[in-house]
Amino acid sequence: MSGNTSQLQVGGKTVDMAIKEGSVGPAVIDIAKLYAQTGMFTYDPGFTSTASCESQITYIDGDKGVLLYRGFPIEQLAEHGDFLETCYLLLEGELPTAAQKADFDYRITRHTMVHEQMARFFQGFRRDAHPMAVMVGSIGAMSAFYHDSTDISDPHQRMIASMRMIAKVPTLAAMAFKYTVGQPFVYPLNSLDYTSNFLRMCFAVPAEEYKVNPVLSRALDRIFILHADHEQNASTSTVRLAGSSGANPFACIAAGTACLWGPAHGGANEAALKMLEEIGSVDNIPKYIAKAKDKNDPFRLMGFGHRVYKNYDPRAKIMQKTTHEVLNELGIKDDPLLDVAVELERIALSDEYFIEKKLYPNIDFYSGITLKAMGFPTSMFTVLFAVARTVGWIAQWKEMIEDPSQKIGRPRQLYTGSPQRDYTPIGRR
């Protein structure tokens, strides 16, 4: 490499490729013309060394355990702000003034109701459907209800669709939860803040008054902040790729929701809690650590490891603190799952295998314990992740749509299948 270009010698040719510097973090080698100049593709399954886009939204330093939303450290946003402030920041790029925040809160609050016919849409699901299946279906179905905000070429419609999703996804999530437990849907209440409204829609019943616990509401609001965005993770990349074809925003967010469901991604919080329950007691931990280290055993410690973080996930530290706050507020003195989690973390962080492979707890390791203590069933954990990540998906989708250089995403491949051959009639096979 020299100055701002790098050179590649391939096939007897020397190809010059520009190096582009970011504001912070790794520079990139622009390979856009590589195929045209060499007839060859790069090869990077899983995109471990590939920047898929330029973005100004979220920055992660995996070695230092740093996470910034529009330059602000996650620790400061979680400490001082609320989730809707983070939503405004991710969408607009700056922290809102008091007037901007009041206006944003007002607009979101007044979009929280869903079209009444959506309630009938839910009746088509089995009661024992996984709430994530219901979320993928109902978010996608928003395209069938909100036709006046599906034209992505119209900035006003893009803004309305964004407001509608940030406001209505929690309502749909609460409806998915109520539907699986056979309780009536609870309408939003405009007098409540975003997260208190969500808690009430999940846990209120017509038979009695529901009083929101402010400590739990603040804790869940902070959990939403932690989950709001995370650079070009699998589900965000799914939303960007879906959006690059010009698909409507509701369909793109439904695609991201489907991807988040996977246990290697957003489904890990549900899988991590099930793993802690399977381990059951501190005595069983060594057996599971051995399984996690055994190359022939597909078992992995759910809630551990990360493609980018090779240091402690900064969100996991805040998550752990929130877990203790919630358990204290609920008077849960000795939660056996927490005992297992704390001891598992202690053992894993001192084990050579985990140290060498730089495997640390990620955001999903403690979130399950907290959400279970709040009264959510494990099947709702990834739904809560989706509620929070909706704003991140939308902010990234919006950035892509507004990028004048954006084009449809269309990766190529290394083909190792059969070369061309002729059809043989069935009688001669």
Does 239 contact ligand SDX by CB under 6 A? no
Q: Which residues contact 290 (CB under 8 A, 6 or more apart)?
A: none
Q: Which residue number, 114 or 292, has a Cβ lying nearer to ligand SDX?
A: 292
Q: Which residue number, 193 or 364, has a Cβ lying nearer to ligand SDX?
A: 364
Tokens 């209800």 locate to 145
CA angle 227, 384, 386 (to 5 degrees): 65
**CB atoms < 10 A from the CB of 426, how many?**
6
Does 305 contact ligand SDX by CB under 6 A? yes
Tokens 């967010």 locate to 253
Does 300 contact ligand SDX by CB under 6 A? yes
Does 344 contact ligand SDX by CB under 6 A? no
Separation CA 241–CA 153 (nearest Å): 17
306 assigned to active site: yes
Q: Which residue number, 110 or 357, has a Cβ lying nearer to ligand SDX?
A: 357
Q: Which stretch binds ligand SDX (CB under 6 A): 108-116, 217-225, 265-273, 406-414?
A: 265-273
Which one among 254, 279, 302, 388 touches ligand SDX, defined by CB under 6 A? 302
Separation CA 394–CA 181 (nearest Å): 30
Separation CA 170–CA 384 (nearest Å): 8
CA torsion 17-21-22-26 (nearest 10°) is: 80
Please name which of 363, 391, 384, 368 lies closest in space to residue 202, comparing C-alpha atoms.
384
Structure tokens at 157: 């419609």
Does 101 contact ligand SDX by CB under 6 A? no
Distances (CA, A) of 418 to 44, 415, 422, 426: 22, 9, 11, 19
Q: Which stretch binds ligand SDX (CB under 6 A): 94-102, 183-191, 331-339, 356-364?
A: 356-364
Which one among 82, 221, 364, 399 touches ligand SDX, defined by CB under 6 A? 364
Does 291 contact ligand SDX by CB under 6 A? no
Does 393 contact ligand SDX by CB under 6 A? no
Does 265 contact ligand SDX by CB under 6 A? yes
Q: Which residues 192-231 are close enough to bind ligand SDX by CB under 6 A?
A: 230
Question: Least distance in Å: CB of 333 to ligand SDX?
Answer: 28
Active-site option among 105, 193, 313, 364: 364
Separation CA 173–CA 111 (nearest Å): 15
Q: Which stretch binds ligand SDX (CB under 6 A): 16-24, 170-178, 215-223, 357-365?
A: 357-365
Does 175 contact ligand SDX by CB under 6 A? no
364 assigned to active site: yes
Q: Which residue number, 253 or 359, has a Cβ lying nearer to ligand SDX?
A: 359
Does 321 contact ligand SDX by CB under 6 A? no
Tell me, by CB under 6 A, how many residues bind ligand SDX.
21
Separation CA 272–CA 364 (nearest Å): 7
Residue type, 81: G
**CB atoms < 10 A from the CB of 2, how many?**
8
Active-site option among 306, 334, 351, 422: 306
Does 115 contact ligand SDX by CB under 6 A? no
Full DSSP string of 311-338 = S--HHHHHHHHHHHHHHHHTT----HHH
Tokens 């060498």 locate to 356
Does 360 contact ligand SDX by CB under 6 A? no
Give the footprint of ligand SDX on this chain (CB under 6 A): 230, 233, 264-266, 268, 292, 300-308, 357, 359, 362-364
Which residues are catalytically annotated? Answer: 306, 364
